[in-house]
Amino acid sequence: MAEGTLCNKKPITTKEALKALMADRAGKKYYQEMNELEVDQKALAAALEKTCLARFRTWLEICAHCGMCADSCFFYLANDKDPTQVPSYKIQTTLKEMVRRKGKVDNAFMQMTMDTAWSKCTCCNRCALYCPFGIDMGVMFSYVRGLCFSQGFVPWEMKIGSGMHRIYRAQMDVDTEDWVDTVAFEAEGIDEEYPGMTIPVDKENADIMYTLNAREAKH
Ligand code: SF4
Ligand code: SF4
């Protein structure tokens, strides 16, 4: 893959690369370039061999296709019980197939897997509670996402989000200074209603740690 492309196997590490990616409206160029990505089958096979087989082989092999996990998945329910949205179907057609082919998969397969891993599973882990064996698609799809990312098959928004984490340490472009200012601003407002109340940041030995979605800080 040539240097300077928007869609490649490398993570975003510079502000320039991040800006270029964000300027690509709706990821139009990014997704066009994705069609040209070559799967590094050797690297994929090595990754599967190293971690996946040891961790997930049992789960992938013992699935009895009983379908008890189906109703636990809101994608299945929200899509008129579409059988392709059954948790076990989703993992069998992606990760298990990848393992079966020992990483020898093509671009179209990786794009299908990417779509499944991000658009058909939120990694909520709910199906694991319903499966008699405790097979957890959420855990496996988290891993599949990593595999896809390492090969450059990652949704445009997620590539931007991960780049923001690397560069700004927050996916909403909120840096530490902004965050501390925002907290101080909010604390002033709170003080009117609850005199003396403060919002400590990075307080050592605190009894409670409160974290929040970066979107709340941003907006
Ligand atoms: S409930 Fe478990 S064993 Fe049954 S189909 Fe789902 S994952 Fe497979
Ligand atoms: S982990 Fe994924 S497949 Fe399982 S219930 Fe949640 S969204 Fe559905």
3-class secondary structure per residue, 57-107? HHHHHHCCCCCCCHHHCHHHHHCCCCHHHCHHHHHHHHHHHHHHCCCCCCH
| Residue 116 beta carbon below 6 angstroms from any ligand 2 atom | no
pLDDT at 212 over 90: no
Q: How far is the CA of 14 from the centre of ligand 2 (A)?
A: 34
pLDDT at 3 over 60: no
pLDDT band at 217 (very low <50, low <70, confident <90, very high): confident
| Residue 70 beta carbon below 6 angstroms from any ligand 1 atom | no
Q: Whose CA is nearest to atom 3 of ligand 2?
A: 87
pLDDT at 197 over 50: yes
Q: How far is the CA of 131 from the centre of ligand 1 (A)?
A: 5
**Which amino acid appears at position 216 of this protein?**
E
**Which amino acid appears at position 67 of this protein?**
G
Q: Mean pLDDT score of the chain, rounded to an integer?
A: 91
**How far is the C-alpha of 132 from the C-alpha of 46, rounded, in Å?**
31
pLDDT at 104 over 70: yes
pLDDT band at 142 (very low <50, low <70, confident <90, very high): very high
Task: Say what percent of the chain tops pLDDT 90.
Answer: 68
Q: Whose CA is nearest to atom 5 of ligand 2?
A: 73
Q: How far is the CA of 81 from the centre of ligand 1 (A)?
A: 16
pLDDT at 1 over 60: no
The least confident of 18-27, 40-49, 52-61 is 52-61
Q: How far is the CA of 202 from the centre of ligand 1 (A)?
A: 43
| Residue 73 beta carbon below 6 angstroms from any ligand 1 atom | no
**Chain segment 87-98, per-residue pLDDT in tens:** 999 999 999 999
pLDDT band at 51 (very low <50, low <70, confident <90, very high): confident
The least confident of 45-49, 79-83, 137-141, 207-211 is 207-211
pLDDT band at 76 (very low <50, low <70, confident <90, very high): very high
Q: Taking residues 122-145, report their average pLDDT.
A: 95
| Residue 91 beta carbon below 6 angstroms from any ligand 2 atom | no
Of all ligands present, the nearest one to the C-alpha of 69 is 1
Of all ligands present, the nearest one to the C-alpha of 62 is 1
At 3 the three-state DSSP class reads coil
| Residue 135 beta carbon below 6 angstroms from any ligand 2 atom | no
Query: Of ligand 1's atoms, which has the minimum distance to the CA of residue 91?
Result: 7
Q: Whose CA is nearest to atom 6 of ligand 2?
A: 124
The least confident of 20-29, 74-83, 148-157, 160-169 is 160-169
Tell me how far CA of residue 31 lies from CA of 94, 129, 180, in angstroms: 20, 36, 37
pLDDT at 86 over 80: yes
Tell me how far CA of residue 139 lies from CA of 93, 101, 127, 162, in angstroms: 16, 21, 10, 19
Q: Whose CA is nearest to atom 3 of ligand 1?
A: 63
| Residue 140 beta carbon below 6 angstroms from any ligand 2 atom | no
pLDDT at 138 over 80: yes
pLDDT band at 190 (very low <50, low <70, confident <90, very high): confident
